[in-house]
C-alpha cells in the first residue's frame, strides 16, 4: 500500500507550508488538473482544425476574424477585470477581523475558495474566446484567428496555478484587506 506522502502525484511542500501548517497540495492539484483540461481542450480542437484545413492559411480576413478579434480583446480584458471585482466582493463578505488577525493558515483557508473561483472564471473567459477563434480559423482558414487562439492559450498557461503563486496571492490579498479596514 502506498502512503499518502509517497504518492507520485503529490507536490512537495513549499517553504511556507511548514510555517502555516496547512497543506493545500490537494487543492492546488485539483486546480492544476482543471486548468490543464481547459488548455488541452483548446489544444485538441486546434489540432483538429489544423488537420481539417490541411494546414492551409487563407490570406483574406473575413467577418469571423474581426468578430473573433473583438471577442478576444473583450475576453482578455474581462479575464483581468471580472475576477478582480469578484475577489473584492467575496473578500468583503469574509469576517475582516479573522482575516486581519488570523494566522497564515486561517487566511489561506478563508481565501483559497476565492482564488479558486476567480482563477476558473478568468480561464473560462480565455478558453471560450480561444474556441471562438478556432471556429473562425476552421471556417475561414485565416492564420490570424489561429494566432489569436494560440495567444489566449498562452495566457491560460501563464495563469497555471502552483502552491507558491497561491500563497503569494493570499498574502497580497490579506494585506490589501487589512489596509482597507
Rg of the chain over all Cα atoms, to the nearest angstrom: 20
Q: Cα–Cα distance between 24 and 38 in angstroms, integer?
A: 21
- Answer yes or no: is 66 within a domain: yes
Produce one character per residue of 120-132: b if its CB has 16 or more CB atoms within 10 Å, e if not: eebbbbbbbbbbb
pLDDT in tens, 88-123: 999 999 988 888 888 888 899 999 999 999 999 999
Residue with cell 473575413: 62
- Answer yes or no: is 154 within a domain: yes
User: Rounded to two decimals, what is the model's pTM?
Assistant: 0.84
Question: Which of 9-13, 98-102, 129-133, 142-146 comes out lowest in average pLDDT?
Answer: 9-13
- Answer yes or no: is 16 within a domain: no
Could you tell me the three cell numbers for 118?
Answer: 476567480
Could you tell me the three cell numbers for 6?
Answer: 509517497
Q: What is the mean pLDDT of residues 10-34?
A: 71
DSSP-derived secondary structure for 137-181: HHHH-BHHHHHHHHHHHHHHHHT---HHHHHHHHHHHHHHHHHH-
pLDDT in tens, 134-158: 999 999 999 999 999 999 999 999 9
- Answer yes or no: is 2 within a domain: no
- Answer yes or no: is 1 within a domain: no
Q: Cα–Cα distance between 88 and 107 in angstroms, integer?
A: 15
- Answer yes or no: is 14 within a domain: no
Q: What is the mean pLDDT of residues 49-64?
A: 89
Nearest to 130 by CA among 46, 36, 37: 46
Q: Domain residues for 66? A: 22-180
Number of domains the chain contains: 1
- Answer yes or no: is 89 within a domain: yes
Q: How far, in Å, are 37, 42, 43, 45, 154 from residue 137 at the CA level?
A: 22, 13, 14, 11, 17
Amino acid at each position: 500500500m502506498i502512503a499518502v506522502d509517497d504518492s507520485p502525484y503529490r507536490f512537495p511542500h513549499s517553504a511556507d507550508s511548514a510555517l502555516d501548517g496547512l497543506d493545500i497540495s490537494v487543492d492546488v492539484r485539483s486546480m492544476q488538473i482543471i486548468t490543464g483540461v481547459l488548455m488541452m481542450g483548446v489544444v485538441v480542437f486546434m489540432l483538429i482544425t489544423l488537420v481539417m484545413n490541411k494546414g492551409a492559411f487563407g490570406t483574406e480576413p473575413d467577418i469571423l476574424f474581426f468578430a473573433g478579434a473583438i471577442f478576444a480583446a473583450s475576453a482578455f480584458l474581462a479575464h483581468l477585470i471580472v475576477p478582480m471585482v469578484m475577489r473584492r466582493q467575496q473578500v468583503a463578505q469574509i469576517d475582516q477581523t479573522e482575516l486581519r488577525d488570523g494566522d497564515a493558515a486561517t487566511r489561506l483557508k478563508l481565501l483559497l475558495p476565492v482564488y479558486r473561483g476567480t482563477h476558473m472564471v478568468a480561464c473560462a473567459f480565455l478558453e471560450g474566446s480561444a474556441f471562438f477563434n478556432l471556429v473562425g480559423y476552421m471556417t475561414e482558414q485565416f492564420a490570424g484567428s489561429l494566432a489569436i487562439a494560440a495567444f489566449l492559450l498562452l495566457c491560460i498557461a501563464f495563469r497555471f496555478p502552483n502552491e507558491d503563486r497561491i500563497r503569494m496571492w493570499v498574502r497580497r490579498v490579506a494585506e490589501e484587506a487589512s489596509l482597507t479596514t
